[in-house]
Amino acid sequence: MKLLEGKNVIITGASRGIGTGIAQVFADHGANVAFTYSSSEAPALALEKELTAKGVKAKAYKSNAASFSDSEALVASVLEDFGGVIDVLINNAGITKDNLLMRMSEEDFDSVIDINLKSVFNMTKAVQRTMLKQRKGSIINMSSVVGVKGNAGQTNYAASKAGMIGFTKSVALELGSRNIRCNAIAPGFIETEMTDKLDAKVVQGWRDGIPLKRGGSTEDIANACLFFASDLSAYVTGQVLNVDGGMLT
């Protein structure tokens, strides 16, 4: 069964990792996918080709999620290219700039907050008018278990991810009466290219500490997004779903 047949979806930061996984699963479910990248042009164009070959409309846009004007321009372009309807927004773009608070620069704090959190304000505001007119929409924010429980060495990242949760719940309250839902996903340890670079023993230690005894895949996160994007979750808003193999249990 295709759960998103003909739906138009925007995913920020889909040139790699979790965003790419979401785009692939969504295209398999019949969604048209508009997605962004900030610098990884080659993989973004390769993904655009791959998704188009699945028989859906797909387009990559270079757009800095931290920029308010880029986000407004992006949404205007998507509306023009995809027939004026936006059914789903996934705020997925994110970065880390880890350091102990003692050594963290103001610049590294600000850039993580801007790319991870302010981006969510930028993009949600940019799609809001369209979703209000449609009286329908689903917004999904990619938080993290770190935003729920904190993490030493990640004050900037944890603050951005916790901020996304407050934003999610507030948007759910503001827009629920117009049938616009807003939920967050809190992934645990997801094995992407980023984690491939880590020491194998350290990674095994993390896996051993997870009740399900494995790291998550990008597909695990994409499937949770599929639930929030589709009518399977028609009566769910303002929630945070931990997709972490039981890590926070």
Active-site residue numbers? Answer: 157
**Look-up of token digits 């188009």:** 52
Closest separation in Å from C-beta 108 to ligand NAP: 14
Regarding 66 and contact with ligand NAP (CB under 6 A), the answer is yes
Regarding 15 and contact with ligand NAP (CB under 6 A), the answer is yes
Among 37, 82, 109, 228, binds ligand NAP (CB under 6 A): 37
Closest separation in Å from C-beta 219 to ligand NAP: 12
Among 65, 117, 120, 127, binds ligand NAP (CB under 6 A): 65
DSSP string, 137-173: EEEEEE--HHHHH--TTBHHHHHHHHHHHHHHHHHHH
Among 39, 42, 55, 197, binds ligand NAP (CB under 6 A): 39
Closest separation in Å from C-beta 186 to ligand NAP: 7
Size of the site for ligand NAP (CB under 6 A): 29
Window 123-162: residues binding ligand NAP (CB under 6 A): 142, 144
**Look-up of token digits 């491939």:** 196
Where does residue 205 rank: exposed (0-12), middle (13-18), buried (19+ CB within 10 A)?
exposed
Among 73, 85, 95, 113, binds ligand NAP (CB under 6 A): 95
Regarding 189 and contact with ligand NAP (CB under 6 A), the answer is yes
**Sign of dihedral through CA atoms 174, 227, 10, 79?**
negative
Task: Give every CB contact of residue 5 below 8 A, 6+ residues apart in sequence.
Answer: 29, 30, 31
**Nearer to ligand NAP by C-beta: 4 or 93?**
93
Task: Give every CB contact of residue 162 below 8 A, 6+ residues apart in sequence.
Answer: 143, 147, 148
SS3 119: helix
The dihedrals phi and psi of 182, each to the nearest 5 degrees, come to: -140, 120
Closest separation in Å from C-beta 63 to ligand NAP: 6
Contact set with ligand NAP (CB under 6 A): 12-19, 36-40, 64-66, 92-95, 115, 142, 144, 187, 189-190, 192-194
